Structure 1
Amino acid sequence: MTTIQLTTLIHAPIKACFDAARSVDAHLSSAAGTHEKVVAGRMTGLFETGDIVTWEARHLGIKQRLTVEISRMIEPTFFEDKMLKGAFKSMRHKHHFLEENGSTIMTDVFEYETPFGILGVLFDKLYLDNYMRKFLQTRNFHLKELLERV
C-alpha cells in the first residue's frame, strides 16, 4: 500500500476550507486538466456522508471511471472517501482540518493499492506515486487560491 500525506496551510476559516474540500464544483475546477466530470451521483453542491459519486477523467491518456463513497464525516474537521469501483485495487482518502490562529491546516492522507502484483508495485514506484502526489498538490493549491482570494 502507498500512502501520500500532504499538508497545506490555508489562510481561511476551517468551515470554509472544509466546505471547499467537499465541494463538487471546486473539485471539478481543480481537476480541469484531466477533463474530469461527474457521470453519476451528486452533480453539484457539497458532499454529505453516504453520497456516492462516479467521476470520469482522462489519466495517463486513458478515460477512466472512479466510484467513491463519502464514508465518514465529522464536520468541520474530517471526512473520508473510499473507492467502491475503479482502477486501484483499493483507495481511501482522508481529509483532516485543524484551525490554528485563524488559518486552517488541511492534511490529506491518500492511501491506495495498485492491482497487477509486482508489475503494479513497479509502476507505482516508477510513475504513479509521483503522478498522484502532483494531482493532489494541484487540487490543494487550487483550493488554497480559491479560499485566500476571498
Structure 2
Amino acid sequence: MAAFVLERFIPDSPETVFDLSLDVDLHLASQSSRGERAVAGVTSGRLGEGDQVTWSARHFGIRFRMSSIVFDVDRPHRFRDRQTRGPFASFAHTHEFLPADGGTLMRDTIEFRSPFGPLGRLVDVLFMRRHLIAVITERNDAISARFS
C-alpha cells in the first residue's frame, strides 16, 4: 500500500479548520480545475458521521466516480473517509487537527492502492502518488485561502 502525509499550518482554531474540512462546497471549489461535482449522497453543506458522497471528476483526461463514507468523527480532533466504490483497490484518508501555537496543524494521511496488482503498484510509484499530493494540496490551499 502506498501512503503519504501532508501537513499545513492554518491560523485559526481546530474547530473552525475541522468544520471547513468537512464542507462539500469548499471541496468542490478547490477541485474546480478537475470539473469535480458531488453527484449522489450529501451534495452540499457539511458532512458528518456516516455521511456518504459520490464525487465525479476528471483525472488524466478521464471522468471517474468515487463514492466515499465519512467515519470515526471526533470533532475537532480528527475524522476519516474511505472509498466505498471507485477506481482504487483501496483508498483511505485520515484528517487530523492538532492545536498549535496561534492556530492548527492540519495533517492529512493518505493510504491508497491502485488496482491491477504489480501494474497498479508501478502506477502508484510513477504517477498516482504525485497526482494525489497535488489534489490534496489544492484542497488545502483552498482551506488556507479562507484565512488570508
TM-score, length basis structure 2 = 0.97
Q: Tell me what 1:45 maps to.
A: 45
Percent identity among equivalent residues?
Answer: 34
What letter matches 2:120 in structure 1? G
Gaps of 5+ in 1: none
Q: Tell me what 2:26 maps to.
A: 26
Q: Tell me what 2:106 maps to.
A: 106
Q: Are 1:58 and 2:52 matched, yes or no? A: no
Q: Tell me what 2:83 maps to.
A: 83
Q: How big is each residue's C-alpha offset from its partner over 1:29-73, in whole Å with a ceiling of 9 and x where there is no partner?
A: 111111100110111111000001000000111010000000210
TM-score, length basis structure 1 = 0.96
- The number of residues matched between the two structures is 148
Mapped to 1, the partners of 2:85 and 2:63 lie a distance apart of 14
Residue 106 (structure 1) shift: 0.2
Mapped to 2, the partners of 1:98 and 1:59 lie a distance apart of 31
Mapped to 1, the partners of 2:79 and 2:116 lie a distance apart of 29
What letter matches 1:73 in structure 2? V
CA RMSD of aligned residues (A): 0.8
Mapped to 2, the partners of 1:50 and 1:65 lie a distance apart of 19
What SS does structure 2 have at the residue aligned with 1:143?
helix
Mapped to 1, the partners of 2:33 and 2:124 lie a distance apart of 21
Q: Are 1:137 and 2:134 matched, yes or no? A: no
What SS does structure 2 have at the residue aligned with 1:63?
strand
